[in-house]
């Protein structure tokens, strides 16, 4: 993500992936509990790294600054399966 200026605005973020809840409008009460929001963020975080690495776990781990074992734990936690061709 490349930002212009020194402030982050809602418009600087891409829309959430299908199936993820949209964040509430500014000033509206949040319908997501913190834990649910954190899980959605973690899931999206690992999915984006896997997409950038074309499914390569080692490269995804390097992108995220994690080790492969941590990536595999995140995949299990979020019910994400990787197809092996």
1 has pLDDT over 50: no
Domain of residue 66, residue span: 32-80
What Rg do the C-alpha atoms of the chain give, in angstroms? Answer: 15
Please check whether residue 12 is in contact with residue 47, taking contact to mean a CB–CB distance below 8 angstroms: no
pLDDT band at 53 (very low <50, low <70, confident <90, very high): very high
Mean pLDDT, the chain, rounded, equals 78
In a domain, 10, yes or no: no
In a domain, 85, yes or no: no
In a domain, 2, yes or no: no
In a domain, 51, yes or no: yes
- Is pTM beyond 0.95 here? no
Domain count, the chain: 1
In a domain, 21, yes or no: no
CATH number for the domain harbouring residue 72: 1.10.10
In a domain, 11, yes or no: no
In a domain, 52, yes or no: yes
pLDDT digits (tens, 9 = 90+) for 6-19: 676 666 566 655 55
């Amino acid at each position: 993500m490349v930002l212009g200026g020194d402030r982050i605005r809602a418009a600087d973020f891409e829309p959430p992936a299908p199936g993820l809840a949209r964040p509430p409008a500014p000033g509206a009460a949040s319908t997501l509990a913190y834990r649910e929001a954190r899980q959605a963020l973690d899931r999206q975080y690992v999915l984006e790294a896997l997409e950038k690495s074309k499914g390569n776990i080692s490269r995804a781990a390097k992108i995220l600054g994690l080790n492969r074992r941590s990536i595999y734990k995140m995949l299990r936690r979020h019910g994400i399966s990787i197809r092996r061709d």
